[in-house]
Structure 1
Amino acid sequence: MTTPRTRRRAGLPTVVGLLALLAFVYWPVLGGQLFAGRDLFRIFFPDSAFLLESLRAGEVPLWNPYLRLGQPFAATLYSQVYYPPRWAAVLLTGPIVSMTVMQLGHVVLAAVGVFLLCRRRRTSWAAAVVAGTTFGLSVLMTRLGTQQNVVDAAAWSGFIVGAALDLQRRPGRGPLARLAVYGALSLFAGSPETTLWQGLVAVLAAGGAPRCVPEARARSVALVTAGFALAALLAAVALLPTAEFARNSLRAQESWRWPLVWSMSWPQVLSAMWPLADWPRDHYWGEDQWFILSVFLGTLPCALAALGALRGPRRARPFAVAALVLVALSLGRHFAPAAWVLLHVPPFSLFRYPVKYFVGAAFCVSVLSAFGVDALGRLARRLRPSRLRAAVALVGMVGAMAVLGPVARRLSMRAAAEAGAPWVPLCLGLAALVVLWPRGGFARPRQVRRGVALLAVLEVAASHALLGRTGYARLAPLLRPFSLRVFLPQPYPGRISVDIQGPEDPSRGGTGNTVERSLEQLIPNRFVEARLPALEGSGAPEPVYSEVFHDAGQRTVFDLAGVTHYLRNGPPPYDDLELLHTADDGTTLSRSRTALPRAFLVQRARVVTDAQALAAVMEDSQPFRHTAFLASGAPLERPSCTGAVEWVLQGAQHQELKVEACDESYLVVSDSHYPGWTATVDGQEAPIHRADLALRAVLLPRGAHTVRFDYRPLSFRLGLALSALSGLGLAAVLLRRPRARKTPSVS
């Protein structure tokens, strides 16, 4: 029986060991380096910079004016606008350092959550340490740090499932509130697929509890489902704008060409326990996924998980079922039943990255590994240890290490699988030696558990040395400002075009030099950090016209969008551009004299189809200079004349212009047309029309006018109301005192 004294004696070494392993895994951070992987500088550095800018301005960052002529910001869940840890990290440490702080904090949170869950499931202390280490500090979780939103959401898994089990055992307000809050934090972290698999695991764990009658099982499932429904209501302020953005993106189109992109391949599933079994991987958009750079969990943890599933208690079975289901889903297009579910069954059909479900499988494997450690301890009581058996195990281990590599080559496995083959028998053989080596007394099962746990933790540490670490960079280069900014006017009235789709896109690398190049070329979204509005942009979801408009690469689109400057990794894209500067690495900055202003007047308008508008936008004669091609509104045919447009305010969510219309005219603003924008003309509400396929236009009578645009989306207001009401209702229920029972009077 575990006493408070034994818990304290075990707790201090555990904490010290966790910190030591954390320091080993992230040792570059101790040397002053920071995380600088793929999507960190593609998305999270720019998003953090804009979030900080908005927070300092005292406004909720609903709209990003710098990206793709402007697009919703809070509606991209991975922006984590409503996630409290992101606010704290960005405000206290800045947009660059905050990503490393977030990663370190959340891997510790993930490890602690799984540890506490396993202890709640009555596993031994050593077994819980194996589970927490496997999930929080594995190569998978560390290399996944470039996808910060996935790590942040997954870190709440142990707490979510633990709250669901508490709700199953003792239904009440407290467990329900904890489940809802943890679920809402997972949603605010910005990876809805993660919250989806967390809900699946929680339902299976609560509904599959042993010795549970069908009525109680149904009640448990209903309560856990209600907890996640309440979590969704608490997160409605983020979810409703996200749903609106998805409806107005390429993903809402049946012709969208990226369903089930980045599905796990079968060799990658094997590589969870066999290091390098999936290398070399197929090309970037090939059969292998590149979302998670390594899925290796460890040979010994995976073997222990299999033992826990087969020989563990009944309470381990829901995690075994969940692991199999999530592995199948992660295969996506490589497993026909999973592909059908992911394409046709809501809510799975709403998402495109099947590999994210493998993070859930890793969570279940981690929990099962704890049951496996204890099962191995029980098995040790029935095995008669001897030096002879240990010697046989040692010989078998050495023989397997010598033979498994050639066998892998004969089986036509991938080239690097042979190099990783000795790792598998080495880890399993050492575990066998721990079990078979003679020991006396009643402490033997405990010693076996501790010995195997130590081996599993050491394997996690050694796997980082074997498979390498993610990209790091020094802080000073990351804080260096965009050097070519001095060649641009202050303030900057136009737009810039960057070569996001170019062949030298560095976003797929992870070295410090790559990060520096990305800033100097503003690739992919680093123009946001320089506060330069751009035509292009990177990130999901993609606006509905992005492929044919923002990313078309046509001179007519550049001129219509007001692109005054071009930044290219090479010569300027057009001969008539004025070259302003050539950097040492060949990057050029050039200026255009043909770009339209970002707001202009036309006295002609036609109501056309989208196909006709696109044709007009692409026409070399550029008819949009004098004619607005509208999706709605009234046609207009007036003689061309000269008016005047002056910007008074160009904020992120509020714009104001002074306009002198020489005749009845349409004011065309080369910002994105999107639901939620409202317009007033001289204080009176005016309709906004979609012009030239993707822009905004307002009809003005002749004369002087003040035109104001404000972004006030109904999805945000309704979501905020639902979140506020749900939060207040939850607080009222928790704070309500239970009624005192009346005691019968004695006469």
Structure 2
Amino acid sequence: MPAPHAVPFRLVPALGLFALGWFALAAPWLLGQVTIPWDAKAHWYPHLVFAARALHAAASPAWTPNIFAGSTEIADPQSVLFSAPLLALAALMPKPGLTAMDWAVFAMLFAGGTGVILLFRDRGWHWGGSLVAALAFAFGAAAAWRIQHLSQVFSLCWWPLAWWLLARALDRRSILWGIAAGLAAALMVLGRDQVAMLCAYLLAATIIAHWASAERPLREVRATLAPLVAAAVAGALVVTVPVLMSALWGAESNRVVIDEIGAGRGSLHPGHLLTWVVGNLYGAAGPLAEHWGPPSPTWGETGLFLARNMGNLYAGALPLLLVLGLLRTGAAFDREIRFVTIALAVMLLYALGWYTPAFRLFWHLPGVDLFRRPADAVFVVGGLFAILAGYGAHRLLTGTLATGWRVEALVAAALVTLASALIVAKGAPQAAWMNLAVAVCSIAAALLVLGPGRRLPAMALATVLAVVLTADLRLTNGPSESTALPPASYDVLEPGSTDPALALIRSLTVRDATRRDRVELIGLGYEWQNAAMSHDLEDVLGFNPVRSAAYANLVGAEDIAALPGQRRFPPAFPSYRGELADILGLRYVVSRVPPNDIDKRLAPDALPLVGEAGGVRIYENTRALPRVWVAPTAMATPPDLATAGFPSGLDPRRTVLVEGEVPPPRQPGGTARLLAYGNTGVTVETTTADGGVLVLADAWHPWWSARIEGREVPIRRAFGLVRAVEVPSGTVTVTFTFEPLRGLARQVSERFSRP
């Protein structure tokens, strides 16, 4: 998309008007009337609270002891440590609230919209077009309907900023602008999600398009090489370590290999394309009983696995008609916008996944097989569609869009008729007709603006376009069950929560020189799953799609633990009365139902009820072991531990299962006590007559190191998932330290040194 020679518009008025529209649309969240729900709060918010607590206590947030018996935050793409807006919020606020987090999200959407405005300004396009594009970008399609997927929202918002900086670097052949572009692109890539990958491909395509459009392409390649190298170096300095960490963690994680069919199950259904016309056609806004879009029982077996709001493309009636006008007149393929039109078509093909033959070609691109939902491309489709619509507004405002809007009105009417027929054919809920009526009114209002309204002066017409679009987006893409719930729904996650069940859990759990009681929060509801991170409890479960494969296989930790039936009991953890529950120090099972309703092998009175508050019951496992102990003997971990379970009659206090060479037996007797316990450092004192094997019942990870009186010693993986160290006789101090950079370097070196 080459930059034309034109006078750029004044930036401050355009940003000011965008800020007014942004606040009008974001106000329900910014004022605390509602909060961004689901994954945004149940998953991301506890990670934010944990990071803030660690930073303001001068502790490291690189490792959390609060979920899955310990988990790496620094390598986890689902943590907040490499999300610039959330990490900044954690650094500024020791106890960030729900609304503060929503401010950070909408601030990023404002930044993304600002990037769009800057792109339009540098290209000499009308400021009114930039305003339409920015509003549709920030509050249209997936940016609105899937706002709870914070990482993808942030990746999308970095993209126009990186594009603007990259375009400046290429146009001006500037190393400084190249460095800035590389840094912005790196912040985008740090999302380590599919949207970031697709946007990275778009940035690469932008460079190729710039070269191809030059009068002398080879000369342009040479002229722009320096800023591009600067961008690559700057970006690599930021992303290399986090990406390597995530890659190595992914190899150790539960993440299964994704095949083409598995990815195809996350395709955008062709029926979703009608949501460009009728935003809430399929009842994605809720309640769930009104959802009838693919996949749902109404459509029968589709083979798809998508949430109800994943396929919504609505960005407003005005943008839709403007894009139709560009396509009908051929202006969508003019030299200055052709790249966006082609990119939009390619991204739409990608999103449709297995519904087009193109996905077989896409599947061979590097990185595509890492992700399981082509429909995630809807984020990028929405962004490109917004820019194309803004260009249509630019052509309208400059009097160069040659259409009377009759054909566009007929096309819109035909699409509405098709949606009506689908409602009848599928026997959709009555609410679908109301949603269709809203769409018809929005289209009619847009046609009034584009028809008689186009005779207004350009400034007045631009303002009317922005006002009508804002009202439209507020009506259709505004707060709904999918995107906004009362803050009270997630009160339990706030650091200052007064929930009585939390108070009871805190009063019961013991942390002393030997004990650090773990809990299992199971079946308490979607919002409770990562509550341990918010309140510095230590949970054997958690809520994260990426976790240690060994831990998941042995303990039965699934993605979610919102319902009692989501607790899996594998052979190594067959029951709350099994050895592994005791080894992990699982002292309390916290649920709304008796534990024998969860664990069918458990006798009704096996775990006594020790407290109840707010409908939450707490049951005690009195056999739970301390966090540290010294065992005199060891034996090799059976290779089939995950499938066969623990050896019969094993007493973990006397015999430790270890990987590798088995230490010789020692005389019984010995004590261990915790001298200090932090996120990334644990100090233990042991006293034995003949040495032994010290067990620290925290999750094993290759980036932990151990030292006895300052001398480094190997950490053995014990019982398949916790840490153990051989200790000598006498009284010694053992220090465990989480060293991710050193551990990363060691792993990378080992991989390169393999023949």
Q: CA deviation at 1:252?
A: 6.1
Aligned partner (choices 463, 476, 496) of residue 476 of structure 2: 463
2:657 pairs with 1:634? no
Shift of 1:30: 5.7
**Who is 2:452 aligned against?**
437
Query: Is the Cα–Cα contact under 8 Å of residues 682 and 735 in structure 2 kept in the other structure?
Result: yes
Correspondence 1:578 to 2:608 = yes
Specify the SS of the correspondent of 2:534: coil
Which is worse superposed, 138-147 or 119-128?
Answer: 138-147
**1:420 correspondence with 2:435:** yes
| Residue type of the alignment partner of 1:576 | A
Instruction: State the one-letter code of the partner of 1:567.
Output: V
2:146 is paired with a residue of what secondary structure? Answer: helix
**Aligned partner of residue 314 in structure 1, secondary structure:** coil
**Most deviating of 146-155 and 410-419:** 410-419
CA positional deviation for 1:149: 2.4
Q: Is the deviation greater in 592-601 or in 471-480?
A: 471-480
Residue correspondence of structure 1 range 133-152 to structure 2 within 5 A: 133-138=135-140, 140-152=142-154
Work out the CA distance in 2 between the residues paired with 1:255 and 1:29: 38
Gap change, CA 1:541 and 1:405, over 3 Å in 2 = closer
1:250 corresponds to: 254
Over aligned residues, Cα RMSD in angstroms? 3.7
**2:130 maps to which of 128, 151, 157:** 128
- The AA in structure 1 aligned to 2:656 is A
Match 2:518 to one of 490, 496, 501: 496
Matched residue, 1:506 = 525
Matching residue within 315, 318, 322 for 2:336: 315
Is 1:694 aligned to 2:721, yes or no? yes
Query: 1:613 touches 1:629 (CA, 8 Å); kept in 2?
Result: no
C-alpha change, 1:398 and 1:649, in structure 2 (3 Å) is closer
CA distance in 1, matches of 2:116, 2:207: 16
Distance in 2 (alpha carbons) for counterparts of 1:497 and 1:592: 10
Corresponding position of 1:203? 204
For residue 169 of structure 2, what is the amino acid of its counterpart?
Answer: L
Alignment of 1:574-723 (within 5 A): 574=602, 575-585=605-615, 587-612=616-641, 615-617=644-646, 621-638=649-666, 641-714=668-741
Q: Which of these residues, 166, 169, 193, is aligned with residue 167 of structure 1?
A: 169
Q: Quote how far apart the aligned CAs of 1:430 are.
A: 3.9
Per-residue deviation, residues 60-105 of structure 1 (Å, max 9, x unmatched):
4211111111111121234232444334323434332431220221
Give the 5 Å matches for 1:94-109. Answer: 94-96=95-97, 97-109=99-111
Deviations along 1:436-470, one digit per CA (max 9) or x if unpaired, are 43987xx7777766655554343223323596652
Aligned-pair CA distance for 1:562: 1.1
Aligned-residue offset at 1:685: 1.4
Aligned-pair distance for 1:613? 6.4
Indicate which of 220, 236, 241 corresponds to 2:240: 236
Q: In the TM superposition, what whole-angstrom CA distance separates every residue of 1:31-54 from its partner, at most 9, and x where no partner exists?
A: 543525111332222111211122
Contact 1:240/1:716 (<8 A) preserved: no
**CA shift digits 1:344-382 (9 cap, x unpaired):** 532222233433322111111111111222344567775
User: Using a 3 Å threshold, how does the CA distance of structure 1 residues 288 and 212 change in structure 2: closer, same or farther?
Assistant: farther
Is the aligned partner of 1:543 residue 2:548?
A: yes
Instruction: Give 3-state SS (helix, strand or coil) of 2:683's partner.
Output: strand
Alignment partner of 1:326 is 2:347: yes
Instruction: Tell me the equivalent position of 2:535.
Output: 530
Q: Is the 8 A contact 2:326 2:401 kept in 1?
A: no
- 1:307 Cα deviation from its structure 2 partner: 3.9
Per-residue deviation at 1:664? 4.2
What's the secondary structure of 1:33's corresponding residue?
coil
Distance 2:256 2:413 in 1: 56
Residue 290 of structure 1: CA displacement?
A: 5.1
The answer for the alignment partner of 2:751 in structure 1 is none
Cα shift at 1:572: 3.3
Which stretch of structure 1 is more off in the superposition, 293-302 or 398-407?
398-407
Encode CA deviations 1:107-149: one digit per residue, 9 max, x unaligned.
2111111111122233211111100000112363234332222
> Is contact 1:54–1:60 with CA below 8 Å preserved after alignment?
yes
Structure-1 separation of matches of 2:257 and 2:446:
53
Question: What is the alpha-carbon distance in structure 1 between the residues aligned to residue 665 and residue 453 of structure 2?
Answer: 97
* Change in CA separation of 1:123 and 1:609 when aligned onto 2, cut-off 3 Å: farther
Q: Is the 8 A contact 2:259 2:369 kept in 1?
A: no
What letter is aligned with 1:532? L
Q: Distance in 1 between matches of 2:661 and 2:370?
A: 33
How far the C-alpha of 1:633 sits from its partner, in A, is 2.4
Structure 1 residues 2-151: aligned runs within 5 Å:
7=10, 11-12=12-13, 14-15=14-15, 17-29=17-29, 31-33=31-33, 35-93=35-93, 94-96=95-97, 97-138=99-140, 140-151=142-153
Corresponding position of 1:735: none
8 Å contact 1:305–1:369 — kept in the other structure? Answer: yes
Map Cα deviations across residues 618-667 of structure 1 (whole Å, 9 max, x no partner): x564454432222212254456x232111111111111111123434222
Contact kept, 8 Å, 1:601 with 1:667, in 2: the verdict is yes
Number of residue pairs matched?
686
Amino acid at match of 1:235: V
Deviations along 1:675-707, whole A, 9 cap, x unmatched?
A: 111111232211111121111111223333221
What TM-score do the two structures reach when normalised by structure 1?
A: 0.82
Q: 1:110 to 1:708 in 2, by over 3 A?
A: same
Mapped to 2, the partners of 1:466 and 1:29 lie a distance apart of 8
Deviation at 1:576, TM superposition (A): 2.1
CA distance in 1, matches of 2:41, 2:61: 19
Counterpart of 1:215 in structure 2 is 218
Which amino acid is 1:75 matched to?
A: A
SS at match of 1:680: strand
Q: 1:229 to 1:352 in 2, by over 3 A?
A: farther
For residues 410-444 of structure 1, the C-alpha deviation after alignment (integer angstroms, 9 at most, x for no partner) is 5548656544334555444444444443987xx77
Structure-1 residue corresponding to 2:564: none
User: Given that residues 66 and 538 in structure 2 are in contact (C-alpha distance below 8 angstroms), is that contact kept between their aligned partners in structure 1?
Assistant: yes
Q: Is the 8 A contact 1:380 1:445 kept in 2?
A: no
CA contact (8 A) 1:208 1:315 kept: no
CA distance in 2, matches of 1:593, 1:498: 14
- Take 1:378 and 1:7, find their aligned partners in 2: how far apart are those partners? 16
Given that 1:393 and 1:433 are in contact with CA atoms closer than 8 Å, whether structure 2 keeps it comes out as no
SS in 1 for 2:342: helix
Please state whether the residue corresponding to 2:160 is helix, strand or coil. helix
Secondary structure class of the residue paired with 1:546: helix
Who is 2:582 aligned against? Answer: 559
1:143/1:484 CA distance change after superposition, 3 Å? farther
Which residue is 2:591 aligned to?
A: 568
